[in-house]
Amino acid sequence: MATDEVAPARAIWRLGDYHRFAREHMWEIGPVVVDACEIAPGQRVLDVAAGSGNVAIRAAQAGAEVVASDITPENLEAGRKEAETLGVALEWVEADAQALPFGDAEFDVVTSSFGVIFAPDHQKVADELLRVCRPGGTIGITSFPPGGLAEDIFGVVAPYMPPPPPDALSPLLWGIEEHVRQLLGDRVESLEMSERTYTERAPSPQEYVDLYKETFGPAVSVYDALRDDPDAIARLDREFLDFASQSNRGAPDGSAEYPYEYVLVVARKRSDG
C-alpha cells in the first residue's frame, strides 16, 4: 500500500491497547503456529503483521532468528517491551504487508497470525509472503472462516465503520481453501488447512464488551467516531451486549466463554521456486 493507503489502517490499530487484547484473548495461538511451522534454532523467521509479537516472540524463544514486522509503531513498541521482559531478542521493523522491505528468499519461515488477512489486496500479500520465503520454506497463516463467531462480531461493528475501499476483499476469504489455493497457485508444493478453535474469556458478557471497547483498535475507533452521537453509541452498546450475551457459551464458574473457529494454513514453497 502507498503511504496514504496505510495511514487509515495504522490510525485504527494504534488505538486502544492491542497488546493487552492479544494477551488476554489470543496469546495461546503463538505456540500453535510455531509448532505447525516446525520453527527451530538456526532458522530465519519473518512474522508479518505481527502485532505485539504473539508468534514472533514464541519463534525467538524456540531459538530462531526472528524479524517481526507491523504497520503500527505502538504494537512494535509493546512487543519490544514484552520481549525484553521475557529475555528474548528479535528485530522489530515497521512495514506494510503488501510491500515488504526485505530481499527475495530471505527467510526460512514466514508467518502471520490474524494479521495479513486484514490487508485489502490479498494477492499482493500472498505474492510478498512467497517472495521473501526461500525455496522449500514454510508459510504459516491463521485466519477466520466465514460463518464463525468472528464474522458475527465483525457484523456488530462494521455498520458503524466507514466503508472499506471498493476493491478491498473480506478477511474471511483467507479461511476458504479455494481462495487461498488461488492466491498461492503452483508456487507451493503443499498446502494444508486445518480447522481449530481458541476461546476468549471474560468474567461476564458486559466485561467482555468493555475489554473490546477499551483495547481493540477497530472498536475503539468506532466509538470515537460516534462520540457526538449518543443515540448511536447507545444502539451499538445494546447490539454489542446482545451479541456477547447470546454468543456466551458459559463456564462452570459463571464467567463468559466465546469459542472462535479459526483456520491454520501451512504451505511449503516449491523447492525450485
User: What's the CA angle centered on 19, arms 246 and 69, to 5 degrees?
Assistant: 120
Residue 13 lies in a domain: yes
Query: Which cell is 81 given?
Result: 517491551
Residue 248 lies in a domain: no
Residue 69 lies in a domain: yes
pLDDT in tens, the chain (273 residues): 444 567 888 999 999 999 999 999 999 999 999 999 999 999 999 999 999 999 999 999 999 999 999 999 999 999 999 999 999 999 999 999 999 999 999 999 999 999 999 999 999 999 999 999 999 999 999 999 999 999 999 999 999 988 888 888 999 999 999 999 999 999 999 999 999 999 999 999 999 999 999 999 999 999 999 999 999 999 999 999 999 999 999 978 889 999 999 999 999 999 987
Residues counted in the chain:
273
Structural domain that includes position 42: 3-146+161-201+260-269
pLDDT of residue 1: 44
CATH code for the domain of 89: 3.40.50.150
Which residues are 225's β-sheet partners?
none
Residue with cell 474469556: 201
* pTM reported for the whole predicted model: 0.94
Residue 217 lies in a domain: no
For 96, residues 6+ apart whose C-beta sits below 8 A from its C-beta are 1, 6, 71, 119
CA distance 10 to 5: 9
The pairing of beta strand 91-94 with beta strand 65-70: parallel
pLDDT of residue 4: 54
User: What's the CA angle centered on 55, arms 49 and 58, to 5 degrees?
Assistant: 150
pLDDT of residue 6: 79
Phi, psi of 179 (to 5 degrees): -65, -45
Residue 83 lies in a domain: yes
Cα maximum dimension of the chain: 59
Residue 211 lies in a domain: no
pLDDT of residue 162: 85
Residue 226 lies in a domain: no
Count of domains observed in the chain = 1
Residue 11 lies in a domain: yes
pLDDT of residue 2: 42
Q: Which of 104, 100, 113 is CA-nearest to residue 135?
A: 104
CA distance 168 to 122: 8
CA distance 44 to 66: 6
Query: Which cell is 86 given?
Result: 521475557
Residue with cell 497463516: 141
